[in-house]
Amino acid sequence: MQKSLSVYDSDGSTFAPLVVIELVSETKEEAIAWLLNRVRDKQQDGGAELLVEQLTPGAQGTEKDNPNVYVVGASWQRLLYGAEDVGLFKEFNDGSMRGFTYANKHNFKEFQGDGDGFLSMAECQYIIKHELDNLRAKDEAHVPGYPKMKLYPGKSVIRRMQSKGILVQVFPLHEKEELKRLSFSWFKKIKLSFQPLDDIRHYFGEGMALYFGFLEYFTLALIPMALIGIPYYLFDWEDYDKFTVFAGFNLVWCTVILELWKRLSASLAYGWGTLSRKKAFEEPRPGFHGVLGVNPVTGRAEPLYSNAKRQLRIYLVSVPFVLLCLYLSLYVMMIYFDMEGWALMIHDEEPTFWTGLLLFIPSIIYAVVIEIMNLIYRYAAEFLTGWENHRLESTFQNHLVLKVLVFNFFNCFASLFYIAFVMQDMVLLRQSLATLLITSQILNQIMEAFLPYWLQRRRNKKAHKRMIKTMEDKELPLSEQVKLEADMSTYLGTFDDYLELFLLFGYVSLFSCVYPLAAVLVVLNNVTEVYSDAFKMCKVFKRPFSEPAANIGVWQLAFEAMSVIAVVTNCALIGMSPKVKSYFPESETQLILWVVGFEHFLLASKFILTFVIPDVPKHIQIKLSRLEFESLEALKKRLRLKMAAHAVRSKVEENRSHLAGQLPSSKIP
């Protein structure tokens, strides 16, 4: 834990600041005082029992600075109890991973002395966020000073203030020293090496580390494909028969890598203690609203919103909206084909170098338009899913992912499917695929790393310059650091990063058999992606709260769905290849039946493989079973002791009544 920065507690003792709370500058005094008291109150009085202090503005503090910035920390013991509360898993003395308990703390491997360094700063920040989120209203009817900001017993105070807009943001602080080390080992080294996943997890948490792990795994898994693809390009192998071999390779490849990833991710998650960690009970998401009622599960007061109403909104508004967007996307695709035809016409009339270049223009424009449409749709989908008013963040995310995936898939691949299976023009397919892939890669890299970086530079050019200068200087005062970080952009989660990988996976697995260089391009893109993503996490964005995760969640499903579609597509492409056709000279029906039979066989094998390959490697399975067995045995032992005690007790009572019968007048103690 970072000890260099510290603020003084009200008792005069110091504490390490971990999390920053920013309220709007015109917040009423009584609301602030109430909030701070609630945060400081003892747990048995319903408080969070944390340490919180107002940030004293530094020397360069100006009038314009918001005075309502608070730093939150906690005593070491409070953090350890919090670790038990959030259900952290840590390595035990015997090498297995177990749920941390305060009483048992000395039996954990890394707990030495006072336990200094036992919890990473990211974990401490996660604990503080959890405790802040779980700070609940008692009998207050509203936030003091704001009669309209209704509260009811059990409502999360922080969430209410956030949804009503007096709480601007809550964010964890960066750790300068640690960040410098991490940046160096991650992306500042020249030599190519694996990413420091454990360090990433240590600093950013498991969710982020799994994303980078998956990115790296995906890149490595693509290398064999890229290597096979290169000779196709170098020797200009134009015949589709060699592509058939490539398509066959594709099929096996995409099934196997996804299965292996599940095992790898289980290994990583086990080592990080998130594999067997129980999911905490999920609270309603901040934006959820409804009539106050009683939750049937928790028995707590909570807004309720009828499921029927939500279904109506989904089926009567969202679904038609998505369909309309798909139609629009089709319409744009048709315009693209018109443009394509027009460019071809011009080129055919008088072919020059310039008209040859012109041939690529429609594809490039189309690629840009696709990216813009994806972007606009993304916002619309987010708005719409919010309006559907899902109770849980996880259901919200699932509905959002589903909406966005369907549209992006359609938007990016519809034209390719049309070219491949309706126009059956393999040359155009290849050209289209190449242009789409390259353009979208370039656009993505610009949009996701350099644009935010440039925007931020422009926004606070001066402050940034100062930061750059003083970043090297260890003695940057706390107030300055907080101010700088508060102005950084907020990282919105791994959604867009995964989406990008998903689309790249689509380009590679669906059509790369007609453009084997796709894998090479994707590998190159992923290598730069690692660097740009690492750069943006360390330099561009506020530190995000770490998110415990045991796997990549709904994305595993999305990638698997894509690989099923890839089987169908590749089989169809194989069936269309002239060489395969030549095996069935008389009857096209025979050909199709064979291809369909082959495809069914592949799909069946795929599902069987998914069943047969265990999702968790055996050595981890054994460790998990051992823990389970031990807890069962402990239960039984306790039961046996109880039985023995019971037996002794009834024996004693029997004797006593026996004695009492013999000596009716004597008192037996």
Residues 205-224, interacting with a copy of itself (CB under 8 A):
none
Nearer to a copy of itself, 457 or 637 (CB): 637
Residue indicated by tokens 């020293």: 177
494 in Cβ contact with 213 (< 8 Å): no
Residue 367 to residue 128: CA distance in whole angstroms: 44
Whole-number minimum distance, CB 132 to a copy of itself, in Å?
Answer: 16
Residue 540 to residue 464: CA distance in whole angstroms: 11
Nearer to a copy of itself, 417 or 450 (CB): 417
Q: Considering the rule CB under 8 A, would residue 335 count as an interface residue with a copy of itself? A: no
Nearer to a copy of itself, 297 or 663 (CB): 297
Name every residue whose Cβ is closer than 8 Å to that of residue 54 and which is 6 or more positions away in sequence. 67, 68, 69, 70
Q: Considering the rule CB under 8 A, would residue 423 count as an interface residue with a copy of itself? A: no
Nearer to a copy of itself, 345 or 643 (CB): 643
Whole-number minimum distance, CB 81 to a copy of itself, in Å?
Answer: 5
Q: What are the structure tokens assigned to 180, written together? A: 């410098």
Nearer to a copy of itself, 375 or 644 (CB): 644
Interface with a copy of itself by CB under 8 A: which range of 188-196, 248-256, 273-281, 660-668? 273-281
Q: Considering the rule CB under 8 A, would residue 260 count as an interface residue with a copy of itself? A: no
- Residues 416, 419, 420, CA angle at the centre, nearest 5°? 85
Residue indicated by tokens 């697995």: 509
Q: What are the structure tokens assigned to 664, written together? A: 């009716």
Q: How far is CA 444 from the centre of its chain?
A: 18
φ, ψ (nearest 5 deg) of residue 402: -60, -50
Q: What are the structure tokens assigned to 380, written together? A: 């619309």
Q: How far is CA 388 from the centre of its chain?
A: 22
Indicate the SS3 state at residue 581.
helix
Per-residue HEC secondary structure of 91-151 comes to EECCCCEEECCCCCHHHECCCCCCCCCCCCHHHHHHHHHHHHHCCECCCCCEECCEEEEEC
Q: Considering the rule CB under 8 A, would residue 41 count as an interface residue with a copy of itself? A: no
Task: Tell me the CA distances in angstroms from 587 to 215, 222, 244, 576, 590, one per residue in order.
Answer: 45, 37, 20, 14, 5
Q: Considering the rule CB under 8 A, would residue 643 count as an interface residue with a copy of itself? A: yes
Q: Considering the rule CB under 8 A, would residue 43 count as an interface residue with a copy of itself? A: yes
Residues 551-570, interacting with a copy of itself (CB under 8 A):
568
Judged by CB under 8 A, the residue of 193, 589, 662, 665 near a copy of itself is: 589
Q: Considering the rule CB under 8 A, would residue 596 count as an interface residue with a copy of itself? A: yes
Q: Considering the rule CB under 8 A, would residue 461 count as an interface residue with a copy of itself? A: no
Judged by CB under 8 A, the residue of 4, 93, 102, 233 near a copy of itself is: 102
Whole-number minimum distance, CB 116 to a copy of itself, in Å?
Answer: 19
Residue 313 to residue 305: CA distance in whole angstroms: 12
Judged by CB under 8 A, the residue of 188, 189, 646, 649 near a copy of itself is: 646
Q: Considering the rule CB under 8 A, would residue 62 count as an interface residue with a copy of itself? A: no
Nearer to a copy of itself, 8 or 601 (CB): 601
Q: Considering the rule CB under 8 A, would residue 77 count as an interface residue with a copy of itself? A: yes
Residue 459's CB is within 10 A of a number of other CB atoms, namely 12
Q: Considering the rule CB under 8 A, would residue 180 count as an interface residue with a copy of itself? A: no
Judged by CB under 8 A, the residue of 11, 29, 63, 103 near a copy of itself is: 103
Residue 513 to residue 244: CA distance in whole angstroms: 7
Please count the helices (runs of H) and the strands (runs of E) in the chain.
23, 12
Residue 505 to residue 491: CA distance in whole angstroms: 24
Interface with a copy of itself by CB under 8 A: which range of 151-159, 291-299, 507-515, 544-552? 291-299
Q: Considering the rule CB under 8 A, would residue 148 count as an interface residue with a copy of itself? A: no
Nearer to a copy of itself, 65 or 85 (CB): 85
Q: Considering the rule CB under 8 A, would residue 639 count as an interface residue with a copy of itself? A: yes
φ, ψ (nearest 5 deg) of residue 42: -65, 155
Q: Considering the rule CB under 8 A, would residue 280 count as an interface residue with a copy of itself? A: yes
Residue indicated by tokens 């994806």: 374
Residues 336-365, interacting with a copy of itself (CB under 8 A):
none
Task: Tell me the CA distances in angstroms from 17 to 9, 78, 287, one per residue in order.
Answer: 10, 14, 29
- Residues 582, 583, 589, CA angle at the centre, nearest 5°? 95
Whole-number minimum distance, CB 375 to a copy of itself, in Å?
Answer: 28
Whole-number minimum distance, CB 646 to a copy of itself, in Å?
Answer: 7
Q: Considering the rule CB under 8 A, would residue 297 count as an interface residue with a copy of itself? A: yes
Whole-number minimum distance, CB 607 to a copy of itself, in Å?
Answer: 9
Nearer to a copy of itself, 48 or 222 (CB): 48
Whole-number minimum distance, CB 636 to a copy of itself, in Å?
Answer: 6
Catalog residues that contact a copy of itself under the rule CB under 8 A. Answer: 42-44, 49, 77, 81, 84-85, 102-103, 278, 280-281, 296-299, 568, 588-589, 592-593, 596, 600, 622, 625-626, 628-629, 632, 636, 639-640, 642-644, 646-647
